[in-house]
Amino acid sequence: MSADMRTILAIETSCDDTCAAVVTEDGVVHSNLIASQMDHDRFGGVVPEVASRRHLELLDGVVGAALADADVSLAEVDAVAATRGPGLIGALLVGFSYAKALASTAGLPLVPVDHLQGHVSANFLHPSVFDPPFVCLVASGGHTFLARVEQRHGYEILGATTDDAAGEAFDKGARLLGLGYPGGAALDQLASTGDANAIDFPRTYVGDLDFSFSGIKTSLLYKLKALPDGDFESAKADLAASYQSAVVEMLVKRIEQAVQRTGIDRVAIGGGVAANSLLRRRVTELGVEVKVPPRSLCTDNAAMIGSAAFAISPLQPGQYSELDAYPSGSPIAV
Amino acid sequence: MSELAIDTATAACAVALRVNGQTFCHAPAPGRMLERPAHAKELLPAIEGLCSESRTDLAELSAIAVGIGPGAFTGLRIGVSTARAIATANGLGLVPVSSLETLVAGGGTERTVIAMIDARRNEIFYRVGEGPDSLATPAETLSLARDAVARGPVLAVGDGALKIREQLLEVGADVPPSDDDRHVVSGSVMLDIAASRTTLAPEGVTPNYIRAPDAKVSSRESWLVESGAK
Ligand SMILES: [Zn+2]
């Protein structure tokens, strides 16, 4: 690692993944550790108190491993970055308190990072750096929004979900189809064996460029309830394929409209939903330049937080001691 | 020699720094216990303040003790996470100390001390003298206090004791008024306790929650439960 290059240790604990990473300002990811918490499966969702407890158990090990994997010591780090919000407040505070105290003790600057900015900034990392301007869709189990990105810090929200996140729509659909939680990947797989035109699902378009997924999930629930006994197994794949196709179509339609509206024909996709094979395929069919970071940079991770940190002026020791985390809102979105 | 103690089990953010035998304390007014906790904003400035007051470098500590509760979960984690990071950056281990044990020790040795920390939901974390840290309803802790009074004089301290102060007085226990320092965890007393305790690896120090986590799922999945699909 070059000595004249700024190096950041980043920490992310906004939901149920305990993450730490080391990145340099050239966008190279030297380590990117993600400890996924599996404890939530049996509850069918993220339990905030369980997530916070696990973060505390895992964090030291994950931070230590991120430094070791990158072959750097804390003394060689130039700044500590951490997610300040939005997210589960108890979970955020584990990582944010740790980052503040670690930076203060080591005499390092701290860069508080907005989680959503992190998803946008994942595009500035190797192996394929994608520079603004671009239209960015971030769709995960926790958030779904469309942004216009003109520089490396800040973005303009063009549209956002008014109810569920797209990832929730997939996870809930998967759960209704008996595929467990989180079932996005299983739904994707089952859908590939079904007919996407077999069953009609409603497409909902709200606001200007906003999203709504509550109607489609209710529709799936009613279709399942109306299904005659014994027909479930044979209808499952078609339901999955048709449901997935409808959700993806709603996302792609909004991307297409955002491209038209902004005149920016470059599109980046992030968040866990970016792993969906149909979404990836349909977006490439739009005839615009498309960037989808590798999966490890799409789902929640700390490398993206480190990437965002390079475009934010760091707070010096003494300036960040009183900083609190925030559960909702995004103070840096313009 | 510079030793740091942190406790965030209650709304009062207790920090002490002992440098060559001289103790510097951040001790919030007892009334703070009845307010909303603000550890995220208060803890690190308090630690840094004591360091500059005592001209100690936070990176040159020789020992760190941390209160592991029981108490409010989020506050506890802020304290433990902060202590772990400071320990890790110093290459040190951590000494976990029960927050109830510190309260009991702060109550002196003449009487049986019952320490109580408000556990909300009409429950109280408590410890009788050298007994174990436990959880009970106010009625149960009152009957414990009554039994203890039958054996000798009793002092009850902590924000949990203030919650049921009138009833405790009725059964014969002494409860100091709400502005008494003995109701607040003392960082200085913690340092005394920690002096004879084993140091653990930072990642091995976790809060003593006592209560299991609520299996309440965040908004993500609540719809399924409501819809009866689950
Ligand atoms: Zn996210």
Give residue for tokens 């707070």.
Answer: A315
Q: Rounded CA gap, A333 and A154, in Å?
A: 6
Which pair of structure tokens corresponds to residue B118? 């408000």
Report CB contact under 8 Å: A90, B224.
no
* Beta bridge partner(s), residue B56: none
> Which pLDDT band, with edges at 50, 70 and 90, does A332 fall under?
very low
In this predicted model, what pLDDT tens digit does every residue of A126-175 receive, in sequence order? 988 999 999 999 999 889 999 999 999 999 999 999 999 999 999 999 99
A102 in reach of chain B (CB within 8 A): yes
Structural domain that includes position B194: 2-98+186-224
Give residue B33's pLDDT: 76
pLDDT at residue A51 greater than cutoff 70: yes
**B116 falls within a domain:** yes
**Predicted local distance difference test score (pLDDT) of residue A230:** 86
Residue B230 lies in a domain: no
pLDDT (tens digit, 9 = 90+) per residue, B156-212?
Answer: 999 999 999 999 999 999 999 999 999 999 999 999 999 999 999 999 999 999 999
Question: Considering the domain boundaries, does residue B89 fall inside one?
Answer: yes
Does residue A331 surpass a pLDDT of 50? no
B229 found inside a domain = no
Same domain, B111 and B172: yes
Instruction: Calculate the average pLDDT of chain A.
Output: 93
Inside any domain, residue B68: yes
Pair (B172, B203) in one structural domain: no
CB–CB of A10/A305 below 8 Å? yes
* Inter-chain CB pairs, A–B, below 8 Å: 149
Indicate whether B26 and B76 sit together in one domain: yes
pLDDT band, very low/low/confident/very high, at A42 (cuts 50, 70, 90):
low
- Answer yes or no: do A47 and B202 touch at CB < 8 A: no
* Residue B217, pLDDT score: 64
**Percentage of chain A modeled with pLDDT above 90:** 85
Domain annotation for chain A: domains and CATH numbers: 7-122+298-309 (3.30.420.40), 129-293 (3.30.420.40)
| Inter-chain residue contact B81 with A89, CB threshold 8 Å | no
Q: Are residues B179 and B192 in the same domain?
A: no
| B230/chain A closest Cα distance in angstroms | 8
Is residue B36 domain-shared with residue B81, that is, in the same domain?
A: yes
Residues B38 and B68 in one domain: yes
Top pLDDT among A38 and A113 is at: A113
Handedness of CA A288, A292, A298, A301 (dihedral sign): negative
Does residue A212 contact residue A300 with C-beta atoms inside 8 Å?
no
Verify that B162 and B215 share a domain, yes or no. Answer: no
Which residues on chain B are in Cβ contact (under 8 Å) with A64? 88
Model confidence at A206, in pLDDT bands (50, 70, 90)? very high
Which residue do the tokens 């002992």 mark?
A: B18
CB-CB under 8 Å, B224 with A49: no
Task: Name the domain count of chain B.
Answer: 2
- Shortest Cα–Cα distance, B195 to chain A (Å): 22
* ipTM confidence score: 0.93
Mean pLDDT of A101-121: 97
Q: Is residue B117 part of a domain?
A: yes
pLDDT at position A39: 65
Same domain flag for B8 and B90 = yes
A89-106 helix and B39-53 helix, angle to the nearest 10 degrees? 20
Backbone φ/ψ region at B173: left (φ over 0), alpha (ψ -120 to 50), beta: beta
Q: Any chain B CB within 8 A of the CB of A52?
A: yes
Q: Is there a single domain that holds both residue B170 and residue B198?
A: no
- pLDDT of A1 reads 54
DSSP letters for A223-243: HHHHSPTT-HHHHHHHHHHHH
Residue-level pLDDT at B225: 37
Q: How far apart are CA A106 and CA B58, in angstroms?
A: 8
The reported pTM is 0.94
Q: Decide if B87 is inside a domain.
A: yes
Asked whether residue B105 is domain-assigned, the answer is: yes
Q: Bigger pLDDT: A105 or B220? A: A105
Whether residue B91 is found in the same domain as residue B120: no
Q: Which residues of chain B have pLDDT under 70?
A: 216-230
The answer on B190 and B82 residing in a single domain is yes
Residues B6 and B92 in one domain: yes
Calculate how far, in angstroms, residue A270's C-alpha sits from the geometric centre of ligand 1.
9
Is A53 in CB contact (< 8 Å) with chain B? Answer: yes
The dihedral formed by the CA atoms of B154, B158, B159 and B162, expressed in degrees to the nearest 10: 20
Quick: pLDDT tens for A274-305: 989 999 999 999 999 999 999 899 999 999 99
CATH of the domain at B146: 3.30.420.40
